[in-house]
């Protein structure tokens, strides 16, 4: 099988490529990535010549067409994904998430190539902190930011191309990922690298906003399960029952770092901060037989902390740039 992975030098995409090389070595992998600030070719460097990396934009129709024509499957991770950045300038999110997905869809339609589209639970909006409900495949879309609204648009485009043109596609919406190779502007790696540097952890507001965390390897094993067993045209929600509020996450990070659980400080909450995300992955588990490896959040987090300790050469340059940017803007922390 020849697969094209869009956004394969970003956090989840790069981990997907590593997972694929480890568990599906017979698969030939080509990565298409624009190598923007949030992606890094060095994340794929350990794989050497085992993969092909093409630097380019998914809105480049000619390039996308050529790469899709040589593929049996497209796994579409490429996206602008940072909520805070979408509030400052939504335009890159429209270009990449909407126009880019349209470009991919037209190429797979022309060449009859299977597509798996990767999306987020943020398209469903948020839930009340005291609401026992969780998102399911039938939850109405209710995005609350330029980022989540453009991801919702991309999902709807895929569904429309399936129904209108017979495109062979599956979709997945996943909860918050953590693990190796995540940019240090994101919540968990920023707290980990701050702790390594002896800086205090930081929380938005009271820290009670809840996210449903999943280790990136579990996300990617689920994606392959959907590719192998999923029904065409169907959406599957990926989650590992990892609900934690931000305060609990920070305390778990501090424990993993061997630091006091109260060694954090509060910072001003961001506008429109979603209260709670929670995934019901029953369909994926019962229909396709998937289960997470990292069912224990603390264990997955310990492994992640160990990875950042052991791979400072990967994150140190972006850490310095990121902290300088936030200091200049007077910002203290970012988180999905």
Q: Concatenated DSSP letters for 169-201? A: EEEEEE-EEESTT--TTSHHHHHHHHHHTTPPE
Q: What is the pLDDT of residue 264?
A: 87
Question: Active site includes 234?
Answer: no
Does 190 map to a domain?
Answer: no
Q: What is the pLDDT of residue 7?
A: 97
Contacts for 238 with CB less than 8 Å, ≥ 6 apart? 172, 173, 174, 175, 214, 218, 219, 222, 223, 279, 281, 284
Q: What is the pLDDT of residue 22?
A: 97
Question: Active site includes 122?
Answer: yes
pTM (2 d.p.)? 0.93
d(CA 153, CA 145): 12
d(CA 104, CA 74): 9
Confirm if 39 and 103 have CB atoms less than 8 A apart. no
Which of 102, 124, 147, 277 is the catalytic position?
A: 147
Q: What is the pLDDT of residue 251?
A: 94
Does 141 map to a domain?
Answer: yes
Q: What is the pLDDT of residue 336?
A: 40
Q: What is the mean pLDDT of residues 217-246?
A: 97
d(CA 139, CA 330): 37
Q: Is the pLDDT of residue 10 over 50?
A: yes
Give the pLDDT confidence of 253-293 residue by residue, as tens digits: 999 999 999 888 888 766 666 789 999 999 999 999 999 99
Does 297 map to a domain?
Answer: no
CATH code of 110's domain = 3.40.50.720
d(CA 43, CA 77): 15
Does 155 map to a domain?
Answer: yes
Confirm if 193 and 184 have CB atoms less than 8 A apart. yes
Q: What is the pLDDT of residue 27?
A: 98
Residue-range definition of the domain harbouring residue 117: 2-177+216-238
Does 81 map to a domain?
Answer: yes
Helix axis angle, 246-256 to 187-196, nearest 10°? 30
Question: Active site includes 147?
Answer: yes
Which of 80, 84, 122, 274 is the catalytic position?
A: 122
Q: What is the pLDDT of residue 56?
A: 97
d(CA 211, CA 29): 32
Q: How many domains does the chain have?
A: 1
d(CA 149, CA 207): 24
Does 284 map to a domain?
Answer: no
Task: Give residue 185's pLDDT band: very low, low, confident or very high (50, 70, 90).
Answer: confident
Q: How many CB atoms lie within 10 A of CB 56?
A: 16
Which of 40, 84, 121, 280 is the catalytic position?
A: 121
Most confident stretch, 8-17, 142-151, 270-279: 8-17
Q: What is the pLDDT of residue 270?
A: 63
Q: What is the pLDDT of residue 335?
A: 38
Does 126 map to a domain?
Answer: yes
Does 116 map to a domain?
Answer: yes
């Amino acid at each position: 099988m020849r697969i094209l992975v869009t956004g394969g030098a970003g956090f989840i995409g790069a981990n997907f490529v590593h997972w694929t090389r480890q568990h599906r070595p017979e698969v030939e992998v080509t990565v298409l990535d624009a190598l923007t600030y949030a992606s890094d070719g060095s994340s794929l460097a350990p794989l050497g010549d085992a993969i092909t990396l093409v630097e380019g934009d998914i809105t480049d129709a000619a390039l996308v067409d050529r790469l899709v024509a040589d593929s049996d499957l497209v796994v579409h991770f490429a996206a602008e994904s940072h909520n805070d950045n979408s509030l400052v300038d939504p335009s890159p999110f429209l270009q990449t998430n909407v126009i880019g997905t349209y470009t991919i869809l037209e190429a797979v339609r022309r060449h009859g190539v299977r597509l798996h589209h990767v999306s987020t639970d943020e398209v469903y909006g948020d839930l009340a902190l005291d609401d026992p409900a969780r998102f399911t495949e039938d939850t109405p879309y209710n995005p609350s930011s330029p980022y989540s609204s453009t991801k919702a648009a991309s999902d709807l485009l895929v569904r429309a191309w399936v129904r209108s043109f017979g495109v062979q596609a599956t979709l997945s919406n996943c909860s918050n990922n953590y693990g190796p190779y995540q940019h240090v502007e994101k919540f968990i790696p920023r707290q980990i690298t701050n702790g390594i540097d002896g800086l205090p952890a930081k929380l938005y507001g009271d820290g009670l906003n809840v996210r449903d965390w999943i280790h990136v390897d579990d996300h990617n094993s689920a994606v392959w399960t959907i590719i192998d067993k999923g029904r065409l045209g169907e959406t599957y929600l990926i989650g590992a029952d990892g609900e934690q509020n931000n305060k609990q996450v920070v305390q778990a990070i501090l424990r993993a770092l061997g630091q006091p659980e109260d060694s954090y400080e509060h910072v001003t909450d961001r506008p429109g901060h979603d209260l709670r995300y929670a995934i019901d992955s029953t369909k994926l588990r019962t229909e396709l037989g998937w289960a997470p490896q990292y069912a224990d959040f603390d264990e997955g987090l310990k492994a992640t902390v160990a990875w950042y300790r052991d791979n400072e050469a990967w994150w140190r340059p972006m850490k310095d740039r990121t902290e300088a940017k936030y200091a200049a803007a007077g910002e203290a922390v970012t988180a999905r």
